[in-house]
Amino acid sequence: MKKKNKYLSILFVTLLLLTGCWDKKEIDDQQFVISLGIDKSEKETISSKNSYRYNITYATPNLSTVQKNGGGNEPFRYFQYVTGDTLTGTIKKAQAYYLEPINFEHVKTIILGKELAKDKVLFQEVLDYIDRTPQFGRTVLVMIAENTAKEILEAKEETKPFRNRYAIHSQDITSIPDELIIDVGKVLNQLINNEGTTFIPRIKKGKNNLGFSGGAVFRDYQFQGWLDEAQVRVLSWTLGKNKGGYFPIWYQGAYVPYEVSHISSKVVSATYDKYLKVKVQIETEGDISEYILDNSKKYIDSKWVKQLEIELEEAIKKEIRDVFDILQMEYKVDIIGLKDQLKLKYPKVWKEIKEDYEKIFEEAEIEIDVNISIRRIGMVY
């Protein structure tokens, strides 16, 4: 009898184990979203009482093409389009259409449409949603589309479609300059800590490819304007990043590129007396990788290098000056990391100016000192 009871109890316990659980997720039944595009709906007129505010495009991978020899002519990814009033509502709607739960845990890229980025309220809503929803990781890359996010996601590239080449892993992306790799966590931190100031890279659709070019500048959560490719490059110099970047200069009858192998930037002095006076020192090391094949010309010698260094310094200084002018006068936004440096190194100065920093930055006198060293010139003189 006792033995029988024992067996029975084991049976009952097994029953409990066989019931499964509330939160089971069948992997086949999930739509794993890889990239998410959010656009402002064309029908959006007034922000309230409108059930068409967002256009969401999301891409889920076609799992059969992921396998080694599967796929064939099937598309790499499937797209879903849906329109709704709030992001949550839109996603619920999508779930109702496609009868499969949408899973955002594997999102790699979020692309925001241009019009959405320009709408302050929608922009704030989207970023709050990303921050608030636990499904989104903070390492998701975020970028702004030149036109619409839908267009970017659908774009076909010559070799393969935009299959998150940019998204798999930051190290894999050789084509993106360092300063353009911005994940959503960083954007959120900047927005929250710097009164809605941030920089988000722009992604552009070419004829048969996609590429990054420049980015958008925000102040007070409001879109201020674009910075183009060259300006972003210069911006990254002042941030002390852009290792592996280059700077071309017309020098003695040839177009010479200067390849940066090491760069650092720091504020070396700061004083405040009616207006802020800052000196930024940028030091770089790099190589000359091209000149011209012409035996009648003089070979590269140390004088040539010295002269080139000086000319490069002048040219770069000028470009930085131009970008600073745009940032100070036009966009009135400090995305050059000056605030952080002042806080860290000149707390006394910072204490005086922190109340009215935005205005003081606008009028600040920023002196730029560029110090360039050319270390290598390749295999020939």
Partner 1 sequence: MYSMNDKVSTRQVKLILILDMFSVSVLILPRVTVEVARQDGWILVIGGTLLAFLYSWFIAQLVKKFPEETFVDFSGHIVTRPIGMLLSLFILLFFILSAAIKIRIFGELTKQILLPDTPIEFIIISLLLICTYLSRKGYECRARVAEILFPITLIPLILILLFAIPKVEIPNLAPFFQLSWKEFFSGSYYVSLTYITLILLLFSNAFVQPPNKSGGICRTSLLVVGLLKLSTVVMTIAIFGAKGTQRQIWPVMTLMQVIHLPASFIERQEALMMIFWLNTVFSIVSGYLYFSSVIVTKMIKSNEQFYLVLPLLPFIYILSLYPSDIIEVYNWQQWLRRKIGPIFLIVIPFLLWLIAKIRKVGATSEEKK
Residue 13's SS3 state is: helix
Which residues partner with 227 through β-bridges? 215
The CB-of-32 to partner 1 minimum distance in angstroms stands at: 10
The CB-of-148 to partner 1 minimum distance in angstroms stands at: 28
Q: Which is nearer to partner 1, 315 or 349 (CB)?
A: 349
**Cβ density class 360-378: b for 16+ within 10 Å, e for less:** bbbebebebebebebeebe
The CB-of-146 to partner 1 minimum distance in angstroms stands at: 27
Q: Which is nearer to partner 1, 138 or 298 (CB)?
A: 138
Q: Which amino acid is at 277?
A: K
Q: Which is nearer to partner 1, 6 or 138 (CB)?
A: 138
- Which of 113, 112, 105, 111 has its CA nearest to residue 138? 105
The helix (H) or strand (E) run that includes residue 76 is none
The CB-of-51 to partner 1 minimum distance in angstroms stands at: 26
Q: Which is nearer to partner 1, 23 or 294 (CB)?
A: 23
Within 99-254, residue ranges assigned H as helices are: 114-118, 120-132, 149-154, 184-193, 229-238
The CB-of-59 to partner 1 minimum distance in angstroms stands at: 17
Q: Is the separation of the CB atoms in 243 and 227 below 8 Å? A: no
The CB-of-98 to partner 1 minimum distance in angstroms stands at: 19
The CB-of-289 to partner 1 minimum distance in angstroms stands at: 30
Q: Which is nearer to partner 1, 18 or 379 (CB)?
A: 18
Q: Is the separation of the CB atoms in 199 and 181 below 8 Å? A: no
Q: Which is nearer to partner 1, 331 or 350 (CB)?
A: 350
- List interacting residues with partner 1 (CB under 8 A): 21-23, 105-106, 131, 134, 137-139, 168-169, 185, 188-189, 192-193, 337, 339-341, 343-344, 347, 350-351
How far, in Å, CA of 312 to CA of 305, rounded? 10
Q: Which is nearer to partner 1, 304 or 350 (CB)?
A: 350
Please compute, for residue 58, the number of CA atoms within 13 A of its CA located in the half-sphere on the CB side: 23
- Which of 76, 83, 38, 78 has its CA nearest to residue 60? 78
